[in-house]
Amino acid sequence: MSKKVLIVGGGIIGICSAYFLKKDGFDVTIVDKSSMNTGASYINAGYLSPGHIIPLASPGVISQGLKWMFDSSSPFYIQPRLNIPFIKWLLAFNKSCSEKNVENSIRPIIDLSVFSQELLNQIKTENQMTFHYEKKGLMMLCKSEKSLCKEEEIVKKAVESGLSAKMLSVDDIKSIEPNINIDTIGAAYFGSDHHTTPGELISELKKFILDNGVNCLKNTEIENFEIDRDKIKSVKISGKSVRFDEYVLSAGTWTSKICNKLGIDLLLQAGKGYSINHHKQTGITCPAILVEAKCAITPMNGFSRFSGTMEISSINNKLRMNRVNAIADSVESFYPSIKIPQSDRKSAGFGFRPISADGLPYIGRTKKLKNVLIATGHGMMGWSMSTGTGKIISELISEKNTSVNIDRFNPNRKF
């Protein structure tokens, strides 16, 4: 009999875990408290970006957060709160904002995201999937010399680590993007980065797992966990006690709440972000990040998506129009021919990035409960690292060696 696996949380990480577990012959159930069609895995910028080699926890991030704390339209905001999990996370995050953390994170970030790109290409070809996927690279557009110098340092590190990256002049940018005027003084370019239309990709993966026998319990939450010594024995779902052999916790930013119920301390905060879909023709063909505004531009299938803001705050469903407007205004400032109407701004979507205490994901078995695995904390990189994470989860449950070294992703790591 094949092992029964319960995946708690069916965003992109849960779905990719289900994909590989099912392929490896497990009996898989996903339980998700939502209808599985909203949140970070649907509204993200769609980048598969090994070029994002610098983890969120890096020098200068806390001081930038403090500087922007009183600016309600800033792209990065940490909401101060007298809340123990937040304070514990902040202390650990602050400690991780070091050069050492950056140096020790570059290799694991590249390895997992390059592996994930390879897997996604394989999944697309093997299953003849048709979701939108392009390999155009990513420009980091700058308005100031200071930003350009910082980008140059990152390009140097990326090239040293084996990625394709270079600096671009204004003329180079014009030849990449000839059909739209961009107000910039130069850019970094990461040729390694790809992009997708998230809704298309996740719909096809969801259809695949459902067609192949994954049991999906939507709008459902676990009512209770029954623990027997160092294992979860069963869970109560819709009033019934059900046993599984293994439990994968991939509930994004909510995973720490589930861990809390199990007596596992997982340092995780929500990083809220917004995105605006714009259906008018823009002429944009190459993805770009507006460096000073921390805003992402993605030419998706039939529309452009503009996303941004990292609001580390309590989980709330407020659409903060000042932040949405700041994203839209920065797009208009870099691309003067684009005008984003109020209707687009008002229908902006939002989602929560699961932010770990050092900017690296938590992937692996927990020490406390032997049949519990964690797969979360990917922050800004959850889309890029999703297939690799799913594959690793299946390898761990199959008791195989993992394809990528996961020492730095250990969910039991101390800060």
Ligand X SMILES: Cc1cc2nc3c(=O)[nH]c(=O)nc-3n(C[C@H](O)[C@H](O)[C@H](O)COP(=O)(O)OP(=O)(O)OC[C@H]3O[C@@H](n4cnc5c(N)ncnc54)[C@H](O)[C@@H]3O)c2cc1C
Contact residues for ligand X (CB under 6 A)?
8-14, 31-34, 36, 39-41, 43-47, 221, 250-254, 258, 273-275, 307, 351-354, 376, 378-384
What DSSP element (H or E) covers 6? strand 4-8
Using an 8 Å Cβ cutoff, are 40 and 252 in contact? Answer: yes
Question: 65 or 390, CB closer to ligand X?
Answer: 390
Question: 32 or 177, CB closer to ligand X?
Answer: 32
Question: 181 or 410, CB closer to ligand X?
Answer: 410
Q: Return d(Cα 391, Cα 157) in angstroms, integer.
A: 28
CB 169, min distance to ligand X, A: 26
Using an 8 Å Cβ cutoff, are 373 and 246 in contact? Answer: yes
CB 375, min distance to ligand X, A: 7
Question: 149 or 315, CB closer to ligand X?
Answer: 315
Structure tokens at 172: 């180079």
> What is the identity of the amino acid at 62?
I
Question: 47 or 189, CB closer to ligand X?
Answer: 47
CB 182, min distance to ligand X, A: 20
CB 142, min distance to ligand X, A: 19
CB 358, min distance to ligand X, A: 15
Q: Return d(Cα 394, Cα 17) in angstroms, integer.
A: 7
CB 145, min distance to ligand X, A: 27
Question: 36 or 266, CB closer to ligand X?
Answer: 36
Place of tokens 């690279």: 137
CB 371, min distance to ligand X, A: 17
Largest CA distance in the chain: 65
Q: List, in sequence order, every residue forming a beta bridge with 39; answer none if it has no partner.
A: none
Strands (E), 180-330: 186-190, 194-196, 215-217, 222-228, 231-237, 240-242, 246-249, 268-278, 288-290, 295-300, 303-312
Question: 86 or 352, CB closer to ligand X?
Answer: 352
Question: 135 or 174, CB closer to ligand X?
Answer: 135
Question: 102 or 312, CB closer to ligand X?
Answer: 312
CB 305, min distance to ligand X, A: 9
CB 111, min distance to ligand X, A: 15
Q: Return d(Cα 48, Cα 131) in angstroms, integer.
A: 14
DSSP string, 42-60: HHS--EE-TT--S-SS-TT
Spell out the residues 6+ positions from residue 96 whose beta carbon is closer than 8 angstroms to its own. 55, 57, 357, 358, 359, 415
Question: 14 or 388, CB closer to ligand X?
Answer: 14
Q: Which of 21, 58, 27 is nearest to 398 (CA)?
A: 21
Q: Return d(Cα 410, Cα 387) in angstroms, integer.
A: 18
Helices (H) and strands (E) in the chain, counts: 12, 21
DSSP string, 320-337: -HHHHHHHHHHHHHHSTT
CB 336, min distance to ligand X, A: 24
Q: Return d(Cα 383, Cα 362) in angstroms, integer.
A: 15
